[in-house]
Amino acid sequence: MKLVFAGTPEVAVPALDALIASGRHEVAAVVTRPDAPAGRGRRLVASPVAERAEEAGIEVLKPVKPRDEAFLARLREIAPDCCPVVAYGALLPRVALDIPAQGWVNLHFSLLPAWRGAAPVQHAVMAGDEITGASTFLIEEGLDSGPVYGTVTEEVRPTDTSGDLLTRLAFAGAGLLAATMDGIEDGTLKAVPQPGDGVTLAPKISVEDAHVDWAAPALRVDRVVRGCTPAPGAWTVFRGERLKLIQVALAPERTDLAPGALGVGKNNVYVGTGSCAVELLWVQAQGKKPMRAADWARGVRIGAGEVVGG
């Protein structure tokens, strides 16, 4: 088939690579979000997908909005059979959805109908899911509600951050998307409507969602920290300033600390929760680089009775 691939961030690159490498289909063009300011200089930088496409000599389309007439006209000229999508980052209007004969097929990082929305992997980690995966489905105008072509499953490991899990899913999902394109082309794959039950939503995680509640059980605190790593980053407040929490561990042996209370040893820093304590392993103070929590504690000289939170 002739394909136009739509995607923007680094997590979409493995799928683009898999489609290029398959040799079975022609990736005629790539659709991605416009260049965005990045770094200290805030200069405009192309998306990871745009950079990879340019390296491969593939035409790159960067519409401000996918309903822009110039973009739609070019898409009609290319006349793709199918448009595979991974984390493109913009809603596709009906007029665009109707252009490819086989539609737009999205790789979504959950086992649909679970975790429809922008942040499925973060929500899976924060909810304590033991198994998640990726799905390919035909895009409709509803939110991730289209019929499903295929799935792959992935175990959520006890120490996984959302970043760890998303990296594995990006590569597993790349193979699934390539296989889905093959199945659509040869007619062996038919999309199956999603069941009406089991629907859960995964809206974007806000900075406030990442604010740790120390009155919650330790298991919940650990899941929030892992689910919000690397973005937007779990955090608490210490001495009136934000303290980013990069890695914690359950400390079931410490049940003597009230929620938010700090317990500092020679090489350990503990915080009380609604159940047992958690040990802070890596943190990042405002304006500082990430550091081991024990080094941070020595630097700030935590006094008796000090707390985090608020």
- 91 carries a ligand binding annotation: no
- Beta strands 59-61 and 83-86, pairing class: unpaired
Distance CA 235, CA 17 (A): 35
The two three-digit tokens of residue 181, written as one number: 């394109």
Angle at which helices 162-186 and 120-127 pack, to 10 degrees?
A: 130
- 112 carries a ligand binding annotation: yes
- Give the Å distances, CA to CA, from 179 to 97, 149, 172: 21, 10, 11
Distance CA 282, CA 268 (A): 11
- Residue whose C-alpha is closest to residue 104's, from 91, 119, 123: 91
- 201 carries a ligand binding annotation: no
Burial of 5 per CB tally in 10 Å (0-12, 13-18, 19+):
buried
Distance CA 262, CA 247 (A): 16
Pairs from 22-27 (Cβ < 8 Å, separation ≥ 24): 22/178, 22/181, 22/182, 24/181, 24/182, 24/185, 25/1, 25/181, 25/185, 26/1, 26/2, 27/3, 27/53, 27/56, 27/58
* Cα separation of the two ends of the chain: 56
- 110 carries a ligand binding annotation: yes
Give the annotated binding-site residues for (6S)-5,6,7,8-tetrahydrofolate.
110-113
Give the annotated binding-site residues.
110-113
